[in-house]
Amino acid sequence: MMADLALPGYEGLDRETARCFRLLVCHPGPDLSVDAAAAIVGCTPRTAARRCAQLVAAGLAAAAPAGDGMPARYGVPAEIGQQACAIADTAADRDELRARLAQWYLAGAHTADTVLTPWRRRDRIRITGLPADVVRLPSYDAALEWLEAEQDSLAAVVTGLAGRQPLLAWQIADAMWPLYLLRGTPVLRRRLEQTALDCAEQLADPRRIAQALLRYGETLHAQGEQTQALALLRASRDAATRSHDMWGIAAATEAMAMTANSMGAHDEAYYLLTPQRLVFRSLHDLRRAALTELHLAAVHRARGELDQALAALTAAETLLDAPGTPADPYARALVQIAHGEILIARGDHDTARELLVGALVTTTTLHALSGQAQALRHLGELALAQGDTALALTRLHAAVRLFTAHGSHHEAGAVNALIAAASRTRRHPTRRRD
């Protein structure tokens, strides 16, 4: 009761509005959406919005910015945080509210993951205390908007659960993967992949440890830290071997190959990568076998073997079109981009342009920043090959902005080098000799 008296306005709240306030306090993230509050306390969004408005009027909550078309969001003002926590920590419904909140985020992250990357291998989950469909995301755009809006709250929930409920924390962190694929978020990704690895180690589950090591290694590879990435990927392969997970062994070996390729060890990459095509085919994962062909094409390209690279890309397209292969428009766009890059080198500019523009349209529709950046980079290179430096610079500058937004700073640096070279050529064109 003393805690109640320490916070003016709280004691005058009705029972349900007070419960809504305690939920806002229990939430570890910066703010909570009205939809979440409604589902967790068990009322309609309209009722939850009214209760939150009462809390704002009483000085017990503050409205937070929300995206266009997204539900309103509320948090507890920092200046009353200590008293608010004293109230929530002594309330009889504290554990129930925290449990329901965690289940809501698990349901939402899992739903978004399923909508955005339906082909991905994931855990089966069981929602307790809330309806299984408590978070409804009816479209691709709605799922991505939800994931972006909730990313800070999801991160806070994962961090808060990691020590007490590592399996639940691991499942939520795992379901955030589409956010990294499409939008980058490198700082958040690195932090949560480390947390997921900590959770997997607490669980002492070799399969989850292998998966967490793989994802953390891929994170470091994407951020240009190849030596550290390679160590994690080797550890992932070892953990997958201990759990007799053929898919995990192949995935880790493939990631090791691509890291080696980035380090200039193209022959090593080739010998690591080649057998994984048959492994994924034997496991009936044709989509993943197609990605292996795409990666082989990158190795052939690095070795100057353009014909072999084109053959690998043709194989990737065939596998992506095979009956039973789950649709993955992003993977198809990446194959088109790689194909277009090689055709530029071979002088087939018209076909290259067609492929790259098609890939740009697809990746823009998917809101995939890295894919858009890659397509624009090669369209810029195409313009350079055709002597249109002004158009090339426009496309290359757009690619840099997208790579930077994605957090791919080493990619942005490579494109900036192209821009510098193109700008020098534009200022000092080569003079013709008669």
DSSP H helical segments within 283-348, as ranges? 286-302, 306-321, 329-346
The Cα 54–Cα 74 span in angstroms is 12
- pLDDT on residue 430: 53
What pLDDT is attached to residue 66?
79
pTM of the full predicted structure? 0.92
Contacts (Cβ under 8 Å, ≥6 apart) of 85 = 25
Domains of the chain as residue ranges with CATH: 2-92 (1.10.10.10)
Whether 169 and 161 have beta carbons less than 8 Å apart is answered as yes
Residue 23 clears pLDDT 50, i.e. is over it: yes
pLDDT band at residue 434 under the 50/70/90 scheme = very low
Query: Residue 283 — very low, low, confident or very high, per pLDDT cuts 50/70/90?
Result: very high
CB-count exposure of residue 389 (10 Å: 0-12, 13-18, 19+):
middle
What separation in angstroms does the CA of 21 have from each of 36, 104, 163? 13, 17, 25
33-61 pLDDT, tens digit each: 999 999 999 999 999 999 999 999 999 99
Residue 157 near residue 108, CB atoms below 8 Å: no
Per-residue pLDDT tens digits for 232-252 = 999 999 999 999 999 999 999
DSSP 3-state assignment of 404?
Answer: helix
Q: Assign 392 to helix, strand or coil.
A: helix
